Structure 1
Amino acid sequence: MSEPEREHDADTESEAGDTTDRNPVLLVRGDREFLVQPGEEMGTDLGVLEVPDDVEPGQTLETHLEEEFHVRRLRGPDLFHHFERTGAPMVPRDVGLVIGETGISRGDHVLDAGTGTGVLAASMGRAGAEVVTYERDADFADVARENMELGGVADDVDVRTGDVVDELENLESSSFDVLTLDTGDAADVVAHAPDLLVDGGFVAVYSPFIESTREVVETAHEADLANVRTRETIQREMQFDDRGSRPSTAPVGHTGYLTIARNE
C-alpha cells in the first residue's frame, strides 16, 4: 500500500472514531480474564460492561449489575492464553528462548514461517521487530491476522498466506536479522539462510521431532552456519506442601527441540 493510501485510510478511520489502533486490555475478576478492545461492550453472566474508549490499566470498571472488574495491561505471556487458536501455539518459555537466544529487539527484521496462532510472531513484534510471517493454511492465516490486531501489532507483523519455500527467490538477499522456523520443511529454508541473513544473523528452528531436528542440524552444517546447537526444551513444575518440596509427579514438561545457528 502506498503512503498516500495509508494516510487516506488513517484519516477515514479517525473520522469514523475507530479504536482498533488502541491497545487491548485485560479485564480481570478473580481467576477470570477477558481480553477486550477500548470502546467495546462486554456481556457476561455478571452483567454488561461498557469499556470506555480511554480505558487505562489500573482502573476498576463495573457492570450494570455493579460487579467489578480490574483493568490490567496486556503482557506478552497473555497472548498464549487469549489468542484464538488454530493449533498448539508455542508456549511462553519457548518464545522466551527464541527471543533470548537470538537477541531479537527493536529495529530487527525477522522472517518467520509456520505462523499458526501467531504467538511467536506477535511476541517478536511486541519486542520491537518488524516481522514477515508465512502460513500455508489460508484459514489459519486469517485467524493470525485477527490475533495481530488483538495483540496490538498488526502494523509490525505482516502475515502472508503461502509456503515460504516457494517465496525464497522473491525475498531480498541479506535483508533479515533473524529467521524463525516452525515448519516441517524448515531444513529447506535453512539451506538458504546465508543468502537471507545479514552477517551475524541468527536462525532459530523449533521442532517437536528428533528426525526433522537432525535434518535441520545437518543442513545448517552443510550451509556453513556457525555455532549450531540444539537443546531440548523442558521444564518441571515444583510442588510445595506440608510433606516437603519436590518436582511435580505430573508428566515431564517436554515441548520440543530448539536449534540455533548463526550466519558468519
Structure 2
Amino acid sequence: MIAVQDNKYAKMAHFGTSAGYKITSAALISSLLAYSIFATLLLYRYSHTPAPALRQQRPPYLPTAPDDLFDYITHVTVNCTNSLIVPGSTLSEGEDTSVSGHEGTYICLDGIPFTPDSCRIYSFGVNREDIKFETTMGKRGCRTHLVTALTEYSYAQVSKNVFLYPLELTNSSSIGAYTLDNFINLLSHMGKTIQYVKTTTKGSEWTLLRNLFTSGYEAYNHVKQIRMLLHLPLAKDENLSALDDMYRLLLGLEYHGYRLLYSRLIPGTSYVHYNMDRVVGTKYETVWLRQ
C-alpha cells in the first residue's frame, strides 16, 4: 500500500517536474520570439531610414564659416608708430565708379629710407584716375612703379620718381602680361628690398598673392609691406567655396611671416549678415607687414 502510494507521489512529482520544464521552455521560447520580433522590427526600421551623409572633414586651415575669414582680415596684430594715410583723388565727371580707386591708401613709414635707390614701391592694378598715393611717395623720395593694363599710355615717367608700365600682372607671362618675377627681373630687383607693394583693382590682390608665394626669387622674403584692397563676394552659401579659397590665400601671408597691420572696411560696401549677426563688407583695405 505504501509502495503504491509512493509510486503515485513519484508520478505526481515527475509530472510536476515535467510541467515546470514545459512552462520554463515555453517562457524561454516566448522571450526568444519576442526578442526576434523586436530585432526584426528594429532592423526593418533602420533599413528604411536613410543613413546620414558622411561629412568630409575640413582641413584645419579652412574656415568653418565666413565668420573666420572676417575675423582674420579685421584682427590687427602689429603696430606702427609713424603712419600716413594718403586720401584718394577726387572722382572726375563721368568716371566709371565700379572700378576700384579713390579709396585712399595707408602706409607705415617706420624704417622706410626715402631715397630712390633704396625705397622701392610697386603698384599693381592701378586706376589711372587715382595715382595720388604714387605721386606723393615719389615726391618723398621713393621710386614708384605703376603697373597697369588700364591705360593707353606707353612706358613713361609720370612724375618725379614715378614710372608707368602698361602691363598686366598675371600668373603666366605673355605679350603685355608679366608675372611678379618677370617684373622683378625687368627692374633688376632680384634679392633687393621692396618697401611696399600695392594692389587696387578687383582680382589683382589674388593674382599678387599667387605670384608672391610661387616666386622663384622668393619675393616674400624681400617685400616689407603689402597693401591690398580686398574684394569679397557676398557671404552667401553659393559663395562659400570662393571665400574659402580667398581665406586660404590670405593665410599664406601669415605662413611667410606677414601680420595684419591695418584694416578698414570701405564705406558704402557694408551689409548686415543675417546669420553671423554682424556688419561685414565686400571691400576692405588691408596692409600686411613682414617683421
- The TM tier, using the shorter chain, reads 0.3 to 0.5
Larger radius of gyration: 2
With normalisation by structure 2, the TM-score equals: 0.43
Q: Give the structure with the higher percent strand.
A: 1
Instruction: Give the structure with the larger helix fraction.
Output: 2
TM-score computed with the length of structure 1 as normaliser: 0.47
